[in-house]
Structure 1
């Protein structure tokens, strides 16, 4: 096992609150609709840009997309906290020579904002965003592309995510798949498809890594 690939929202950063807030503002201002967080969550899969294009009734989608990213940037420091445990985990894996990647449905634009704000810019050897695939998760396209870029076999990699779509993508890509519920906000309470392991604590995962027990939880 020489590669760890992560989902982003709800896995590496507690960015779900800012995603919900920005989407709710867009739909309120352009369609005068009040969407709950659960209704917004049901739209997840494609990038933010595609979610707005697919779900907004208002014809000025370009302006709406612009408002989403402006809202995301302006409110990031207020709504997204630095997580010391995640930072320590990434540093530990990086120092051990593990290849690190991200496969996310987020658009590159919002991911770059978050990586910069959280000082995560320099950890990852490959990043596949929603802009880089034709089929979002649960399709395994993004994971397969990441493995190809890294030049690693599926048996050498694990994928860590917080949603059913993450687990389904991981299983289809034939990588070792870990479901996590270790941040304050995550997408799935109970996984429809059983991951190879589940962790509700970054600390417990780190202990497993250090013990060489990545295949046991």
Structure 2
């Protein structure tokens, strides 16, 4: 194995609360709708801009998108905590010679806010966001693109994610696919497509990598 590609929200950072918060502000202000976290989860797949453009009834979609990013940036430090276990995992992988990457449905703009806030800038060898793909997860397009940019064969790669769409994407890309439920907030309690392994804490995954 040469490469580990990670999903971001719910996998590398406990950012689902900030995503829910920003979407709830947007839909309340523009559509006067009170959305639950579960309702928001059903919209996941496209980037934030895609979700707002596809689901908001109000015609002021550009304004709504700007509000999303405003809330996301302003509330980030309050709602997203830096995770030492994740930081140690990434440092371990880098020190062990692995190339590491991100394949996320997030737009680049919100990912950049999070990477800066969590001091993760410059850490990854490849980053594919929702802005970089034509077909969002569960399509494997972004994962295949990431491996191509790294010059790594699918047989040498691991994909790690917390959602059903992540697992489907990894399986379709024919990479070793890991489901994780190691952060306080993650996307899927159960996976419809079976990952090769499921880890509920970071330490177990590090042990798996070492073996």
Structure 2 match to 1:181: 181
Structure 2 match to 1:70: 70
1:123 deviation in Å? Answer: 1.4
Distance 1:112 1:155 in 2: 29
Q: Deviations over 1:23-57 (max 9, x none)?
A: 00000000000000000000000000010000001
TM-score in terms of structure 1 length: 0.96
Gaps spanning 5+ residues in structure 2: where?
Answer: none
Structure 2 match to 1:106: 106
Distance 1:187 1:79 in 2: 17
Distance 1:38 1:61 in 2: 22
Structure 1 match to 2:9: 9
Distance 1:97 1:123 in 2: 13
Shift >3 Å, 4+ stretches: none
Gaps spanning 5+ residues in structure 1: where?
Answer: 213-217
Structure 2 match to 1:34: 34
Structure 1 match to 2:49: 49
1:196 deviation in Å? Answer: 0.4
Root-mean-square deviation (CA, aligned residues, Å) is 0.5
Structure 2 match to 1:157: 157
How many residues are matched?
211
Distance 1:26 1:191 in 2: 29
Distance 1:183 1:163 in 2: 12
Distance 2:83 2:92 in 1: 14
1:10 deviation in Å? Answer: 0.2
1:164 deviation in Å? Answer: 0.5
1:204 deviation in Å? Answer: 1.1
Distance 1:207 1:82 in 2: 22
Structure 2 match to 1:215: none
SS of 1:166's equivalent in the other structure is helix
1:100 deviation in Å? Answer: 0.3
Distance 1:79 1:16 in 2: 9
Q: Deviations over 1:122-168 (max 9, x none)?
A: 21000000000000000000000001000000000000000010000
